[in-house]
Chain A
Amino acid sequence: MPALVQAPPVTHLNAPEPEHCPGTESEQAGNADACQGCPNQAICQSAPKGPDEDIPLINDRMSGVKHKILVLSGKGGVGKSTFTSMLGWAFSSDPDTEVGVMDLDICGPSMPRMMGANGQQIHSSSNGWSPIYVSDNLGMMSIGFMLPNEDDAIIWRGAKKNGLIKQFLKDVDWGNVDYMIVDTPPGTSDEHISINQYLKSAGDGIDGAVVVTTAQEVALLDVRKEIDFCRKAGIKVLGLVENMSGFVCPNCKGESFIFAPTTGGGEALAKEMGVPFLGKVPLDPRIGKSCDLGESFLDLYPDSPASTAILDIISEIREAVEGN
């Protein structure tokens, strides 16, 4: 197993960074006004300065990656990881397509379990860390593979998370990949800012983001913020997916809404924000079961309405990306 983090200098700070910290890796680190009186000032002042020397290394690694897709949502638990795994399974069903899945949810990594790779360990070679392959053409990377004990909490502040994200990009032997799918945690903070910053200059940059939501206004409220973030960060929104939309009772086949679209749901939000609406995926309890067991729902229940909906959405995403 590789060392968890080859400690970037920021992990040695004496105290949390102050509010107006210019960034421990920035040119002004240690010399800005906000640095006066900060217990870390001396550390930052002595750290090497200049453009981030890791960026060329990242660009080098990412030169073999054709398309990079982020899966985002402001809200937690709407199905980002589930959808990421679906994209992974669906793209890799073509044996000539190489797929990589990167899990940026450092504090709550779900991808290993969902892809049926729980408990695997990462190996290092002279080329870097080898991704975990769940099939011949589907490799993945997650902090979940690096924990000595599955239940361990990863109590890390942003700076340390950024260090690991950087390593996922520059130290992993991704090889040639047609689609790199990046699963993210909820919110608009360090992980999101960093991945965008690190990938901006790599190849053609990020192709775009798939934003996942559920239909109720409390979720839409956060998703609105995520789309606002994409705008500010210059990330193209490939489209919005409404997940867990409508529930068909297995007993009486009657449909009802668990998460009621009181304000028009994802479709209305997409219209309001001027982004494409990719479709609705109905809530099927077998999806959650498949995820718990690490199996591909699309392979197990190819004829279910949820599978049809998901595959339709995925082909739209493929078109949007390939058409670029």
Chain B
Amino acid sequence: MSEIPSLNQVKHILLVLSGKGGVGKSSVTTQLALSLVNDGYKVGVLDIDLTGPSLPRMFGLEGRNVHQSTAGWIPVYTDDTKRLCVMSLGFLLPDRGNSVVWRGPKKTAMVRQFVKDVVWGDLDYLLIDTPPGTSDEHISIAEELKQASPDGAVLVTTPQDIATADVRKELNFCRKVGFKVLGVVENMSGYVCPHCSECTNVFSSGGGQTLATQFDVPFLGSVPIDPTFVTLVESQGSEHKLLEKYPESALSSIFKGIVDKIYAQNLPVRQA
């Protein structure tokens, strides 16, 4: 069915989008992946944020290398169980501080290569993390996936107006290119003071829900700011495996709720 052989054995393709930067696309992508793997699925994650790739750091894979096989690029697996793999431009840079100063055409070519030349193998879910905006990377991924019938997009926002204003643009982008909107996640929704447990709405509140209602798309959930998740990410290593530690995080139950809402949409498998 798919004209892209590398994606032939991928059952579902989900994009994580947001018009706004720094709202937690990569953090949401990471936690969606962890939740899916903990539910027993095989998951691949593709990072098309070319000038600011964050996923190698999020999954504790910095410094790892992508290997080339005759079939294409082998993504980086988090462990030997091979339930979770990641592909990012971050793996291809000689030094983590190197900037990638590319204009559109080069970014387009890289996105195309990421879609066509990665050996994903047999996957239940492929999550695609994107940079902010509606420009080269987004147009390219939409064009590349046109024949691959992706399931749709999860939109991430923070509650304040400045962020939802940009996410509205992203919703209109999805409509234009024909991505189904699977739902909106409101991230950084409140912060619980570690001293007195009082919850402060640092970035206002309720913006994600309002946005979902206005655009008539599902609201998948509110995720509070939890510095312990950042600590978990930063302290991971061979002793503390993120995949094993994540279920202890308070956020894991919230993300369980979010993936349950996605399962409940009964997305058809791209192929049997």
Tell me the A residues contacting B by CB distance below 8 Å.
16-21, 23, 74-78, 81, 106-108, 110, 113-114, 150-159, 161, 185-190, 192-193, 214, 216-219, 221-222, 224-226, 228-229, 232-233, 247, 249-252, 254, 256-260, 262-263, 283, 285, 288-289, 291-292
Contacts and interface: CB of A to CB of B under 8 A. Distances in A.
Contact of B139 (A108, A157, A214, A283): A157
Nearest to B231: A260
A188 B100 contact: yes
Q: Dominant SS at the A interface?
A: loop
A256 B195 contact: yes
Contacts of A251: 193, 196, 198, 200
B96 A77 contact: no
7 contacts: A74-B99, A77-B163, A151-B171, A157-B135, A249-B193, A258-B225, A263-B234
B5 to A, nearest CB: 21
B99 A232 contact: yes
Contacts of B52: 74-76, 186-187, 221-222, 225
B201 A285 contact: yes
Contact of A157 (B98, B104, B132, B165): B104
B170 A110 contact: no
A222 B98 CA distance: 9
Contacts of B161: 113, 292
Contact of B227 (A76, A186, A256): A256
A260 B19 contact: no
A120 to B, nearest CB: 15
A311 B255 CA distance: 40
B106 interface: yes
A247 B202 contact: yes
A260 B193 CA distance: 14
A72 to B, nearest CB: 11
Contacts of B230: 216, 218, 259-260, 262
Given A186-B132, A216-B230, A262-B230, A250 B200 contact: yes
Interface residues of B, number: 66
B21 A76 contact: yes
Given A21-B105, A157-B104, A254-B196, 16 more contacts: A76-B22, A78-B21, A108-B19, A110-B162, A156-B135, A158-B104, A159-B104, A185-B132, A188-B99, A229-B101, A249-B198, A251-B198, A252-B196, A258-B191, A259-B230, A262-B234
Contact of A288 (B162, B193, B225): B162
